Amino acid sequence: MKLRHIGQLFGLLIFLSSNVLAQSAKFPVVHHQESQQANFKVALITDKLRTPWGLAFLPDGDFLITQKVGAIVRVSAKTGDIHEIAGGPVPLVLGQGGLLDIALSPNFATDSLIYISYSEGVRNKNHTAIASAKLSGDTLADLQVIFRANTVQKTGGAHFGSRLVFDRKGYLYASIGDGFSWSEQAQNPKNHFGTIVRLHGDGSVPADNPFADGIDGAPEVWTYGHRNPQGLSMHPQTGDIWQSEHGPKGGDEINLLVKGGNFGWPAATFGRGYSGQVISKFTELPGMVAPLLHWTPSIAPSGLDFYTGNKFTNWRGDLFSGALAGQHLRRIELDGTKVVGQEKLLIKLRERIRHVRNGPDGFLYILTDAGQLLRLEPDE
């Protein structure tokens, strides 16, 4: 065999062995659970994160994670080691604000772009923003702000949203909170309070957005009438975008987004004010889209994803939501758009679950407010 062929073979063996190592990396098990449809164990990849919020999977298996307090990190899939990413946006860290979600470009293999949502501004005048940047090693370059919510009257550190998801056509959806207002701001699509916006990857407005001409609503708005949406996921079969949002005292929702839809807040809601006061006597109104599922009392849903992997075959097609106040992972069983079953998982961990992601390796990954990155694995 020629020397160059031996070298190529050696390189291939190194490549294959490194891939096997990444796929078979073992981490300490911190929990076992027998559930309705799948027994599983929970592996701890790291507990050294600082208020983690968003999670994206890199092609080499590593994890990109936003930390609300202001740093993006890469977590090694082999060792759990944490490396800070330089060059990210500098957020307003205030209350619920800071670095929020993160997503890879659908063309990441060729353009190396990532997208980050975050809070920006000052205490008495702030908004949700989205930036793109190119990832090279552990550095971001060419950072560009592609969107700033026009919520100029927003004050304080509550209800920024904000999740990011791309659909099959490459459109970027982002959720914007209502700014913690029970006024009718979220009922006015001319501003971005309580909306889902839909953009091209460069921040420009798709021509088929419902208010693209800017006459009856802001051009970026796809849906409105939301409160504080912290979950977005694309349905694996239909390509539709599903969303979750926080109610106040009760009235958390799961919604199926429809173009130009008004989802009711605060004119129609199952929730009440924190002191128990009535916000609206209506739970549904003509011309408004009703939720597919609502929770009272609140579980405080954060993070949302469909499971499509092959590790838990009985869960395939189920929807998963984190629960902050509820301190559990909620599994939602569906028949089309009808909810036919629910199950609370990870209750004994007693952790505020910030995000749940369906991993490309077939496992489910969890972020907790306590700084953990967890992996759910079959317990056989």
Residue 13 burial by CB count (10 A; 0-12/13-18/19+): exposed, middle or buried? exposed
Asked if 235 is an active-site residue, the reply is: no
CA distance 280 to 238: 33
CA distance 100 to 130: 10
What the block records as the tokens of 188 is 């006015």
CA distance 118 to 149: 11
Q: How far is CA 108 from the centre of its chain?
A: 18
**Hunting for tokens 């912290």 — which residue is that?**
230
What the block records as the tokens of 317 is 């097609």
Q: Backbone phi, then psi, for 164, in 5-degree steps? A: -125, 140
The one catalytic residue among 31, 83, 127, 159: 159
Say whether 301 sits in a helix, a strand or coil: strand
CA distance 186 to 184: 5
CA distance 57 to 34: 27
The alpha carbon dihedral of 151, 152, 158, 161 has a sign of positive
What the block records as the tokens of 142 is 């060419």
| Cβ proximity of 368 and 318 under 8 Å | no
CA distance 334 to 145: 37
CA distance 185 to 182: 8
Catalytic residues: 159
